[in-house]
Amino acid sequence: MREVAIIGIGMNKWGELWDKSLREIFVEAALLAIDDAGIDKIDSMYIGSMSSGLFTDQEHIASLLADYLGLASIPSTRVESACASGGLALRQAFIDVASGMSDVVLVGGVEKMTDVTTGGATFALSTAADQEYECYHGVTFPGLYALIARAHMHKYGTTREQLAMVAVKNHKNGAKNPLAQYPFEITIEDVLKSTLVADPLRLLDCSPITDGAAAVILCSVELAKEFKKDPIIKIIGSGHATDYIALHSREDITWLSATEKAAKRAYKMANKTPKDIDFAEVHDCFTIAEICVTEALGFFEKGMGGEAVEKRLTDLDGRIPINPSGGLKSKGHPVGATGIAQVIEVVKQFREEAGERQVKNARIALTQNMGGTGGSTLVHIFEKI
């Protein structure tokens, strides 16, 4: 297997992009990545998108986007794993380069969520859960994560305020991110006073509905050196795992076992441990998710994720900064694009282009991207050399 590097990144400002269609959003980000990489040839492309079909009635976007990118004829693959579509697309692209099948690969993610009503978007998102045994009964995604939150609070004493602190921290970081959907700070009181969505989760515990795309260019480390890329940013670990799709099928509903397994696989491949990670971009679709993920990634003991946030261990200047980009909460969550945007933050941080969000002396970083309530998870580890 060859070593794989990231040589280009591209991302537009995320938000409700009324005047841009799915194809425009994707192509915009892809072109930025191509320009950033300075390449003139792409061997294959991967697109992560949860449901272009339900959001815009458009399937076959492998063809559509290769077409609109002016690359019709190259191999193009649309990858889906609910909210982990982006992370999974990255892994497919990684394998494509690492195996030697392709030399230069574009991988992007896109989701156009505002061409349907809020009800329509909620329905599309709900297809990540078990249709017959979860959604049939009227549960929503906030509802499923609320079930996790309440159990976590009951079992470990995690508090409502600790959940709020995750949102506050991520907004504090996101306020420094010009591409974020909601680049402003919020307070704990703001969170605790926001509308109840599914007890105990409130509006400000939840990531938003967003239009957006993100793209990166991968090639072999050898080729990256030829392109005189500096620093060289390598993908040193890739871990992928699944779990029972329905929350209730799992032994312990407070434990994200797919995240644990994907992380172990990635750590093993990278020959690293949780202690080696300088910062991480994780999937905070809901505040409780970030808490559970940091435990499953091995950053904190089981049940201690809430306390860790309270102790500010995950702040930008903390022991292990989590979501310096602002996370899904502040940056936005155009589902299929999220996994790729996480990688973009890693690259920006390694290039020391993160402005006020800059994590100091970061050399090894981790991204974690999950689908549904953790039914599928991708963990990637990156190193700056």
Partner 1 sequence: MITPQRYWREIPQRYRLEAGKCKKCGYISFPPRLICPHCKNREFDIIRLKDEGKIVSFTIIRVPPEQFSDQSPYAIGIIELNEGVKILAQIIDCNFEDLAINKKVKIEFRKIRSEGEAGIICYGYKAVLLD
Rounded to whole angstroms, how far apart are CA atoms 160 and 158? 7
Interaction mask 73-112, partner 1, x per CB under 8 A: ----------------------------------------
Helix or strand holding residue 91 (H, E): helix 85-98
Near partner 1 by CB under 8 A: residue from 75, 127, 133, 185: 133
Does 205 sit near partner 1 (CB under 8 A)?
A: no
- Please give the angle made by the CA atoms of 307, 313 and 319, to the nearest 5 degrees: 145
Interaction mask 176-195, partner 1, x per CB under 8 A: -------------------x
Near partner 1 by CB under 8 A: residue from 65, 89, 97, 201: 201
Residues 6 or more apart in contact with residue 39 via CB below 8 angstroms: 7, 8, 104, 217, 219, 227
135 is catalytic: no
Where are any strands of DSSP class E within 12-155? 44-48, 76-79, 104-112
**Distance of alpha carbon 67 from the chain centroid:** 26
Between 54 and 266, name the residue whose CB sits nearer to partner 1.
54
Find the catalytic residue in 83, 135, 219, 292. 83
Q: Closest separation between CB of residue 132 and partner 1, Å? A: 6
Rounded to whole angstroms, how far apart are CA atoms 106 and 101? 14
Rounded to whole angstroms, how far apart are CA atoms 75 and 149? 42
83 is catalytic: yes
Residues 6 or more apart in contact with residue 137 via CB below 8 angstroms: none
Ranges within 282-321 binding partner 1 (CB under 8 A)? none
Does 248 sit near partner 1 (CB under 8 A)?
A: yes
Q: Closest separation between CB of residue 210 and partner 1, Å? A: 18
Between 136 and 184, name the residue whose CB sits nearer to partner 1.
136
What is the CB neighbour count within 10 angstroms for residue 57?
Answer: 9
Q: Closest separation between CB of residue 36 and partner 1, Å? A: 39
Does 126 sit near partner 1 (CB under 8 A)?
A: yes
Between 10 and 142, name the residue whose CB sits nearer to partner 1.
142
Q: Residues 160, 149: contact at Cβ < 8 Å?
A: no
Strands 76-79 and 44-48: parallel
Does 150 sit near partner 1 (CB under 8 A)?
A: yes
Indicate which residues carry an active-site annotation: 83, 333
Summarize as ranges the residues that interact with partner 1 (CB under 8 A). 119, 122-123, 126, 132-140, 142-143, 146-151, 154, 195-201, 244, 246-249, 253
